[in-house]
A and B are shown apart, each in its own frame.
Chain A
Amino acid sequence: GAGVSQTPSNKVTEKGKYVELRCDPISGHTALYWYRQSLGQGPEFLIYFQGTGAADDSGLPNDRFFAVRPEGSVSTLKIQRTERGDSAVYLCASSSGTGLDNYGYTFGSGTRLTVV
């Protein structure tokens, strides 16, 4: 696609429920990144895919968070047993680079998750 697409743009869910957030990166971009941004903070790294594999998942806060990218394109971030502290804007970005290079990221518009 022309840009990075994230759906839904907004999601309100009840505490304890399961949610899935989707990211459709720029076609051909091998690297895909998930971040979350809370009020007053910069984007916090969650997980990074190179192709189908998670190259670095050290930012996932706990085992309630999981992400997949089965075909090396679309990625889904899954959050189980949501908590109010999970409320944030979840950003996805893609890049044609491999990480430690000069390629900038293209970000999606984000999914605003609110857990009530």
Chain B
Amino acid sequence: ILNVEQSPQSLHVQEGDSTNFTCSFPSSNFYALHWYRWETAKSPEALFVMTLNGDEKKKGRISATLNTKEGYSYLYIKGSQPEDSATYLCASPNPALIFGKGTTLSVSS
């Protein structure tokens, strides 16, 4: 069974702080690593799909890196804003996506 783990479970930061969280996944039989953002009362929204070791992707103030050899990915948010408050999920396909429990970010103004 594919096991995807995320840490921390929750995080509270002040507006303007930069933050990051971790996703761990099995490094064997790796296909891809997905990141999603899930805001309250909305649908999960795809952020990144990463496949290559060393991949780095960026979308505005959010970026992600991938290390397939050691089985982890980091998501970074630069200069957090209140609208970044959401649960951030990572997932790996098996073949359907298997999700971690998510990191819930709360940004105070």
Is B43 located at the chain interface by the 8 A CB criterion? Answer: yes
Which among A38-46, A61-69, A80-88 touches the partner chain?
Answer: A38-46
Which of B42, B89, B97, B98 is the most central at the interface, judged by chain A CB atoms within 10 Å of its CB? B97
Decide if B49 touches A33 in the complex (CB within 8 Å): no
Our pick among B36, B42, B51, B99 for the contact of A109 (Cβ within 8 Å) is B42
* A103 to B11 CA separation, bound complex (whole angstroms): 29
- Give the contact-size bracket for chain B: 20 to 34
- Give the contact-size bracket for chain A: 20 to 34
Are A102 and B46 CB-contacts (below 8 A) given A42-B101, A48-B95? no
Q: Give the shortest distance, in Å, between A17 (CB) and chain B (any CB).
A: 26
Are A99 and B101 CB-contacts (below 8 A) given A4-B43, A107-B44? no
Which of B4, B49, B95 is the most central at the interface, judged by chain A CB atoms within 10 Å of its CB? B95
Decide if A101 touches B32 in the complex (CB within 8 Å): yes
Q: A108: which B residues are within 8 A, CB to CB?
A: 43
* A43 to B93 CA separation, bound complex (whole angstroms): 13
Decide if A99 touches B93 in the complex (CB within 8 Å): yes
Q: A91: which B residues are within 8 A, CB to CB?
A: 43-44
The 17 listed contacts between A and B (C-beta, < 8 Å) are A41-B101, A42-B4, A42-B101, A45-B96, A45-B99, A48-B96, A55-B95, A91-B44, A102-B32, A102-B49, A104-B34, A104-B46, A104-B49, A105-B44, A107-B44, A109-B42, A110-B43
Measuring CB to CB, which residues of chain A are less than 8 angstroms from any residue of chain B?
3-4, 33, 35, 40-45, 48, 55-56, 59, 91, 93, 98-110
Extra contacts besides A104-B34, A106-B43 (16): CB < 8 Å:
A3-B43, A41-B101, A42-B4, A42-B102, A44-B99, A45-B96, A48-B95, A55-B96, A99-B93, A100-B93, A102-B32, A102-B49, A103-B49, A105-B44, A105-B97, A110-B43
